[in-house]
Amino acid sequence: MTPLYEGKAKRLFATDHPNELLMEFKDSATAFNGAKKAEFENKGRFNKALTVLLYRALEARGVPTHFVREAGDVALIVKKVDIIPIELVVRNVVAGSLAKRLGRPEGVRLSGPLIELYYKDDALGDPMINDEHVRELALATPEEVVRLKAFGLRVNDLLTEIFSGAGLMLVDFKLEFGRLASDPATVVLADEISPDTCRLWDAQTGEKMDKDRFRRDLGGVMESYAEVLRRLEKELTSGESPSASASLSLS
């Protein structure tokens, strides 16, 4: 297949279908805008399996995504989209950069979901932007911005419920969106949902179960990803036939 794009964690390839792409998950991990890098065996497999579980759960609850079907251990067939260069972050608990910016300790629950927008541009370091910046940069229409924020809040409600059932606290997460190549007026959820894009803490102990284990040199990165997958499999596929991802392990 023809390679189209390679990012920090994924590759995109053209397929025989003009409106479908193959999205391959890499074993690479990066942090701090690529300044810190590492390879973790099975990372691509775990993130692919987790994204499939969560996209299927969201689709079943009425959230449109670019997911079409699985394509092996580390790849998906996805709808071709024009990615909107905005990363939408929804925060429920103070953590990471928000703790530094607000001068509040990590772990403080916010009074309500907090939405932040970031300009998806590696050369600029993905700076935080507001609605007026979006307008001046012509990244999205005002109507699309309203839609993206509503999307974010809806996904937050659903993911909070799903992760809570798996004994995990959804601290914050990042979403990306794209306009369908076959229908540019339609915006869908794109990219991935995994411990790379979500902060997840054990609901009982507060233990970090996400990429912060890599960012902060806490160790046990893939063990945590495997545990998140195990819990979500149990939560989302109980009573159903186990999927292929159920057999994934660190071995």
Instruction: Tell me: pLDDT of 247 over 70.
Output: no
Residue range 63-94, pLDDT digits in tens: 999 999 999 999 999 999 999 999 999 999 99
Q: What pLDDT is attached to residue 237?
A: 87
Same domain, 122 and 206: yes
Q: What pLDDT is attached to residue 42?
A: 97
Number of structural domains the chain divides into: 2
Same domain, 98 and 204: yes
pTM, 2 dp: 0.92
Q: Using pLDDT thresholds of 50, 70 and 90, give the confidence band for residue 110.
A: very high
- Mean pLDDT across 138-144: 97
Q: Which amino acid is at 83?
A: I
H and E: helices and strands count for the chain: 6, 14
Q: What's the sign of the alpha-carbon dihedral 162, 109, 47, 189?
A: positive
Q: Which domain holds residue 53?
A: 3-80+237-247
How many whole angstroms separate alpha carbon 122 and alpha carbon 227? 31
Q: Which amino acid is at 132?
A: E
Residue 62, Cβ density class (10 Å: 0-12 exposed, 13-18 middle, ≥19 buried): exposed
- Mean pLDDT across 188-217: 98
Residue 141 lies in a domain: yes
